[in-house]
Structure 1
Amino acid sequence: MTETVSSGGLSESGQRLDKWLWFARVTKSRTVASAAVIGGKIKVNRETVTKASHPIKPGDVITSRISKNIRVLRVVAPGTRRGPAPEARLLYEDMSPPVLPRSEAAPSSAWAERAPGSGRPTKRERRKIDAFNDEG
């Protein structure tokens, strides 16, 4: 049995997973998509996939742990090219749970809250941290 493969990575049994992730703009490149699949960060129909060439078809559910958030996507159509983002959104149905804002997700004291990547604490914040730690 021979498979016919077209230029978009489509075959009779489906499309390559790494190509679909790239077409759907889940990853920035096919190399990143392939590395994510090999690294175990992608599941297809609740099963971990280890080959970037794993075939997917419409109706498959893909769970992605590439970024900080977990995305659950149902494949609606195979991709034919990597187009603009509105075109890429037509390839999947997003079934991910809504992301809670930081204020609702983990309430904390106002002075100790720092945005990720905001740098080192100021001198004033460092004094407050030291005072807080010395109380206990």
Structure 2
Amino acid sequence: MNDAPRNTGAGPTVRIDKWLWAARFFKTRSLATAAIKGGHVELDGHKAKASAAVRAGQMLKIKKPEQVFDVEIIAVSDKRGPASQAEQLWQETPESQKRREDEAAERRAARLTMPRPTARPDKKSRRRLRRFKQGEDAG
């Protein structure tokens, strides 16, 4: 028996790739489809297919570089509108919001500890840096 989520027909449905694009998680529908095929989107705890239909009340886990969103679908739409409209299509769980804020704070703290040059390297410094990175003698 298949454990994949099924639509019971309650309420309107939309393809998940269209919904992700309309909700502005991805800039294009093809990027949304690629993320789904890459296993970066889960629908109700299962890997999703681009043709899967979503409806209000379902849970999505969307993995983007450096960010993971756990969201509940509030409304469905296959039309991309302004960001204010897109925000009304989903609601992020409080745990997901806290996790993303904590990870962002860690990245900011890590960036502050990294040394930053005061100016761009001159030609001689760039050559030395290139030799060092390529493993040649820096002399």
Which TM bucket (shorter chain)?
Answer: 0.5 to 0.7
Shift of 1:97: 2.8
Q: TM-score of the superposition, structure 2-length normalised?
A: 0.64
Residue 97 of structure 1: aligned partner: 97
Unaligned runs of 5+ residues in structure 2 are 1-10, 130-139
Give 1:66 deviation, angstroms: 2.0
Counterpart-to-counterpart distance in 1, 2:50 and 2:41: 10
1:1-136 alignment to 2 at 5 Å? 14-49=13-48, 51-95=49-93, 96-98=96-98, 99-100=101-102, 104-105=105-106, 112-113=113-114
What CA distance in whole angstroms lies between the structure 2 residues aligned with 1:54 and 1:114? Answer: 47
The answer to whether the Cα contact below 8 Å between 1:76 and 1:93 also exists between their aligned partners in 2 is yes
Query: How many residues matched?
Result: 106
TM-score (norm 1): 0.66
**2 CA distance for matches of 1:87 and 1:40?**
27
CA-to-aligned-CA distance 1:31-50 (integer Å, 9 cap, x gap):
0000100110000111111x
CA-CA distance at 1:109 after TM superposition: 10
Contact 1:75–1:92 (8 Å) recurs in 2: yes
From the two aligned structures, give the one with the greater helix fraction: 2
RMSD of Structure 2 on Structure 1 (CA): 2.9
Unaligned segments of structure 1, at least 5 residues = 1-11, 127-136
1:86 deviates by 0.6
Runs of 4+ residues over 2 Å off in structure 1: 104-110
